[in-house]
Amino acid sequence: MLTKVSQIDFFWDLLLGFLNLAIGRLLPRLHVPKTDLTKKVAIITGGNSGIGFQIALEFARRGATVHLACRNASKADNAVSEITNQIPESHGRVEAHTLDTSSLASVRAFAEEWKGDIDILMHNAGVASVPEGQSLFTPDGFPLLYATNFLGPFLLTYLLEKYLAPGARIISTTSTGQYAGDISARFSLNSVTNHIEPGFHTSRKLNKKVPADADVYNNTKLMQVAFTRLLQQHFDHENGLKNQRLVHCFTPGFTSTPMVDKFNIRSFRLDPIWWILQSTVIFATDPRQGAATGVWLATTKDGGGNGGGYWDRMTRRVSKIDVTDPHIVQRLWVRWEADAGIEWR
Ligand SMILES: NC(=O)c1ccc[n+]([C@@H]2O[C@H](COP(=O)([O-])OP(=O)(O)OC[C@H]3O[C@@H](n4cnc5c(N)ncnc54)[C@H](OP(=O)(O)O)[C@@H]3O)[C@@H](O)[C@H]2O)c1
Dihedral of the alpha carbons of 245, 249, 252, 257, in degrees to the nearest 10: 90
With a CB cutoff of 8 Å and minimum separation 6, the contacts of 115 are 163
Predicted confidence (pLDDT) per residue in 191-247, tens digit: 999 999 999 999 877 666 677 888 999 999 999 999 999 999 999 987 766 658 999
> Ligand 1 center to residue 148 CA distance, Å?
10
Would you state the pLDDT for residue 265? 66
* Ligand 1 cavity residues, CB under 6 Å: 45-46, 48-52, 70-72, 75, 99-102, 124-128, 148, 173, 175, 251-252, 254-255, 257-259, 262
Q: Under a CB-based contact definition with an 8 Å cutoff, are residues 17 and 251 in contact?
A: yes
Predicted confidence (pLDDT) per residue in 140-192, tens digit: 999 999 999 999 999 999 999 999 999 999 999 999 999 999 999 999 999 99
Nearest CA to ligand 1 atom 39: 49
Would you state the pLDDT for residue 250? 98
Nearest CA to ligand 1 atom 36: 46
Task: Compare 64 and 1 and report the one with higher pLDDT.
Answer: 64
> Ligand 1 center to residue 157 CA distance, Å?
18
Rg (CA), the chain: 19
The region of weakest confidence among 14-18, 176-180, 245-249, 280-284 is 280-284
Cα distance between the two ends of the chain = 28
Burial of 178-201, coded b for 16+ CB within 10 Å and e otherwise, reads: bbbbbbeeebeeeebeeebbbbbb
Would you state the pLDDT for residue 305? 76
Ligand 1 atom nearest to CA at 174 = 7
Ligand 1 atom nearest to CA at 125 = 24
Reported as type and span, the H/E element at residue 68 is strand 65-70
Of 51, 107, 218, the one to substitute when testing ligand 1's pocket (max ligand atoms within 8 A of C-beta) is 51
Domain boundaries, the chain: 4-10+35-254+288-340
Would you state the pLDDT for residue 322? 95
Nearest CA to ligand 1 atom 20: 259
Ligand 1 atom nearest to CA at 147 = 31
65: helix, strand or coil: strand
Ligand 1 atom nearest to CA at 256 = 1
312: helix, strand or coil: strand
Predicted confidence (pLDDT) per residue in 67-83, tens digit: 999 999 999 999 999 99
> Ligand 1 center to residue 200 CA distance, Å?
22
What CATH code would you report for 4-10+35-254+288-340? 3.40.50.720
> Ligand 1 center to residue 71 CA distance, Å?
11
Task: Compare 204 and 121 and report the one with higher pLDDT.
Answer: 121
Task: Compare 40 and 304 and report the one with higher pLDDT.
Answer: 40
> Ligand 1 center to residue 9 CA distance, Å?
30
Would you state the pLDDT for residue 241? 63
Q: What is the mean pLDDT of residues 321-330?
A: 95
Would you state the pLDDT for residue 1? 47
Let me know if 30 is exposed, middle or buried by CB neighbors in 10 A (0-12, 13-18, 19+): middle
Q: What is the mean pLDDT of residues 86-98?
A: 98
Q: How far apart are CA 55 and CA 60, in angstroms?
A: 9
What average pLDDT does the structure give for the chain? 92
Would you state the pLDDT for residue 155? 98
> Ligand 1 center to residue 227 CA distance, Å?
19
Q: How far apart are CA 316 and CA 310, in angstroms?
A: 6
Q: Under a CB-based contact definition with an 8 Å cutoff, are residues 173 and 294 in contact?
A: yes
